[in-house]
């Protein structure tokens, strides 16, 4: 099943988007987190089917919210290395968007920094093709891979997601704070949005806000929830105009 975690604009405290996060509801084991089965699926072709399932399910469910005018924000979906490199990726995405009647500008693809740097030339070609459809691109777990900074200038990137490991100690460790500050400053000057991942406290939010970060995602604002939970959350919190 697919859960959704809201992403909030720090400035006006409104939901700008959600990230789709897959879960396996096992009849005996209960809810199995993606870390337990995505890496296994990656080793087999199952990642193809799971990826398509998540894409279809998330776009279809999410589009009910946009069509009912409950939500105007974006839907972010995680793509693994193998998924991104399937030959028909652009075609598949296009079909899913058509079928679910979702505006491509509402869809954001998250790829990790590590994946991006495995083969920057090739990945950048693929991302550029997806961008031609109107889809936006976010770099996940930013700061943990080994980015060649010069690529940030040439790759088609709309958003940097600052990895949770920096946010965890941002209020207690000067080094982590400096790294966040540098990432945010770089994003601002390259015109790339920044979002802090895994924000759990008000102190963490206030600090990233003071550094000029655009958005937060984390338990402080909202945990991942199913589509019904998300619908209620949006309506009850009146978190968008």
| Contact set with ligand C2E (CB under 6 A) | 5, 21-22, 33-35, 38, 54, 78-80, 140-141, 198-200, 218-219, 224
Shortest separation between residue 109's beta carbon and ligand C2E, angstroms: 11
Rg of the chain, C-alpha, whole Å: 17
Tokens read off for 217: 């995602």
CB-wise, 152 or 199, nearer to ligand C2E?
Answer: 199
Q: Which does residue 198 touch among Ca ion, ligand C2E, none (CB within 5 to 8 A, set by kind)? A: ligand C2E
Taking residues 69 to 98 in sequence order and writing x for each that binds Ca ion by CB under 5 A, - otherwise, the string is: ---------x--------------------
Spatial separation of the C-alpha atoms in residues 227 and 241, rounded to whole Å: 20
Q: How many CB atoms lie within 10 A of CB 146?
A: 7
- Of the candidates 1, 93, 94, the one whose C-alpha atom is nearest the C-alpha of residue 50 is 1
| Bridging pattern class, strands 30-32 and 107-112 | unpaired
Taking residues 192 to 211 in sequence order and writing x for each that binds Ca ion by CB under 5 A, - otherwise, the string is: -----x--------------
Shortest separation between residue 69's beta carbon and ligand C2E, angstroms: 26
**What region does 142 belong to: left with phi over 0, alpha with psi -120 to 50, or beta?**
beta
CB-wise, 16 or 191, nearer to ligand C2E?
Answer: 16
Q: Would you say 195 and 160 are in contact if contact means Cβ atoms under 8 Å apart?
A: yes
Spatial separation of the C-alpha atoms in residues 67 and 82, rounded to whole Å: 32
Shortest separation between residue 150's beta carbon and ligand C2E, angstroms: 25
Q: Which does residue 38 touch among Ca ion, ligand C2E, none (CB within 5 to 8 A, set by kind)? A: ligand C2E
Q: Scanning the structure block, which residue is given the tokens 């990230």?
A: 19
CB-wise, 33 or 153, nearer to ligand C2E?
Answer: 33
**Contact with Ca ion (CB under 5 A): which of 61, 108, 113, 141?**
141
Shortest separation between residue 55's beta carbon and ligand C2E, angstroms: 8
Burial of residue 172, with CB atoms counted within 10 A of its CB: 0-12 exposed, 13-18 middle, 19 or more buried: exposed
Alpha-carbon distances, residue 238 vs 162, 167, 217 (angstroms): 27, 27, 17
Spatial separation of the C-alpha atoms in residues 109 and 123, rounded to whole Å: 13
Shortest separation between residue 152's beta carbon and ligand C2E, angstroms: 19
**Contact with Ca ion (CB under 5 A): which of 65, 71, 93, 110?**
110
Shortest separation between residue 145's beta carbon and Ca ion, angstroms: 11
Q: Which does residue 63 touch among Ca ion, ligand C2E, none (CB within 5 to 8 A, set by kind)? A: none
Partnered with residue 37 across adjacent β-strands are none
Kindly list the residues in this chain that would bind Ca ion in the complex (CB under 5 A): 78, 110, 140-141, 197
């Amino acid at each position: 099943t697919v859960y959704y975690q809201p992403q909030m604009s720090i400035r006006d405290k409104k939901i700008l988007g959600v990230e789709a996060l897959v879960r396996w509801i096992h009849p005996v084991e209960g809810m199995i987190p993606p870390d337990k089965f995505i890496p296994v699926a990656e080793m087999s072709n199952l990642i193809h089917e799971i990826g398509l399932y998540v894409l279809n399910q998330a776009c279809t469910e999410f589009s009910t919210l946009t069509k009912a005018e409950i939500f105007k924000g974006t839907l972010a979906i995680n793509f693994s290395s193998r998924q991104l490199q399937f030959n028909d990726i652009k075609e598949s995405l296009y079909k899913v968007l058509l079928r679910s009647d979702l505006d491509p500008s509402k869809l954001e693809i998250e790829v990790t920094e590590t994946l991006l740097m495995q083969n920057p030339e090739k990945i950048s070609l693929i991302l550029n093709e997806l961008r031609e459809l109107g889809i936006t691109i976010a770099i996940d777990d930013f700061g943990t891979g080994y980015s060649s900074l010069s690529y940030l200038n040439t790759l088609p990137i709309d958003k940097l997601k600052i990895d949770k490991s920096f946010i965890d100690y941002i209020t207690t460790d000067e080094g982590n704070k400096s790294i966040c500050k540098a990432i945010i400053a770089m994003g601002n000057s390259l015109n790339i949005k920044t979002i802090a991942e895994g924000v759990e406290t008000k102190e963490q939010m206030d600090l990233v806000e003071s550094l000029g970060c655009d958005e937060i995602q984390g338990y402080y604002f909202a945990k991942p929830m199913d589509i019904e939970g998300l619908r209620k959350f949006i309506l009850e919190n009146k978190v968008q105009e």
